Amino acid sequence: MSLSQGLRANNDAGYSPSVRVGLDVSGFARQLVEPETMFREISLDVEWKYNHFVAVEAGLLDIDVQKQTHRYMAGGYYLRLGPDFNVLGRKPEAPNDLVLLSLRYGFSKLDHEAPFILIPDPYWGDFQTAVDSESYSAHWIEAGISLKTELGYNVFIGWSLRGKLLLYNTREAEMEPYFIGGFGKTGRNTGLMLHYHIYYRIPFR
């Protein structure tokens, strides 16, 4: 069935498909705890069929860590794409509240460098070095659950919890990144992230 046929079938059943745009506010909260780490993420999901969604999430990452012994800088972008399925029975008093099972494929690309690294040595003397800018990319999958609740006038709030599994990253990189945009801190092939969102829903009719 084509998208247009699916929309007509759902409309005949008294159902109105929609598109929802969102902002991940957890990035602002994280920056309060870690001022050196900044990421901003927006999302778009389309309910193309009753209880079936397809979602796209995109974000920007900027990191600037300055310590007495080193400085680390990184910047890049990330994308996630995948389906959502609503498992909550819709009630007449809250027809747009959702509990979703989610699956995503993620990709991140960044450039990072360490223009200043100081290795203290009281015997031989301090040693100063640097790592030039290099590109880094990563691919992963993630799955989880999320909740979206309508406050009114098509405005929603929600959260999502997802487990992540790293599939591929740049091999033999001179320096591992401090943080992979959309995935989290490096050092393990798995991760768990909690996101908080604000959404606005635009009905198709």
pLDDT at 15: 60
pLDDT at 187: 79
- Cβ atoms of residues 174 and 150 within 8 Å: no
CA-based max dimension of the chain: 81
* CA distance to 63, 96, 115, 173, per residue, from 66 (Å): 10, 45, 10, 22
Q: How many CA atoms lie within 13 A of 163 on its CB side?
A: 3
> What pLDDT score does 89 carry?
82
Cite the DSSP H helix spans in the chain: 3-12, 26-33
pTM: 0.84
What per-residue confidence (pLDDT) applies to 164? Answer: 96
pLDDT (tens digit per residue) in 149-189: 999 889 999 999 999 999 998 877 778 888 899 998 887 88
Question: Which of 110, 151, 101 lies closest to 133, judged by CA?
Answer: 110
Residues of the chain with pLDDT under 70: 1-15, 205
Would you identify the CATH topology of the domain 17-203? Answer: Porin (2.40.160)
Count of helix runs (H) and strand runs (E) in the chain: 2, 10
Contacts of 175 (CB under 8 A, 6+ apart): 112, 114, 131, 134
Distance CA 155, CA 19 (A): 12
Torsion of CA 103, 111, 33, 99, to 10 degrees: -10
